[in-house]
Amino acid sequence: MTVSKQVTDAVTQANVKVLGDSPALSLSNLYQTISQSLSLSVQNAVMAQQQSNLVHQATTTQGVSLIYSVDTAAIGAATSQTLKSDDTENLVAILGAVQAMRDSEKNA
């Protein structure tokens, strides 16, 4: 049984086409893989930046809260020491310090 030359030629042409398309398909798969990897990297960088901004905002809020609470804590400590103190000189010194703090708050 012999195969027609036309059939052999058609099969050969199909095989040559597949072999000719292989480099292009390989490169297209490579380009898609690279682009997906790069997009995931960018997505991870954006997520890290968002998390970093969240931490910085929380730190700033905590710092401002601490700054606002310092004067109140100092006055509270001075008042506590004043109430516990029996020495007249200590009372006068602590009251002077409290008055100086209040004056500095008014001037600020």
Domain limits, the chain: 5-107
Residue 108 clears pLDDT 70, i.e. is over it: no
In angstroms, rounded to a whole number, what is the distance separating the alpha carbons of residues 82 and 104? Answer: 20
- For residue 64, pLDDT over 90 is answered with no
Q: Write the DSSP symbol of residue 87.
A: -
Helix (H, G, I), strand (E, B) or coil at 86: coil
**CB–CB of 78/98 below 8 Å?**
yes
Determine if the pTM surpasses 0.95. no
C-alpha triplet 76, 77, 78: angle, nearest 5°: 90
Query: What is d(CA 98, CA 47) in angstroms, rounded to the nearest whole number?
Result: 48
**pLDDT tens-digit readout, 1-52:** 787 888 888 888 888 887 778 888 888 999 999 999 999 999 999 999 999 9
Q: How many residues are recorded in the chain? A: 108
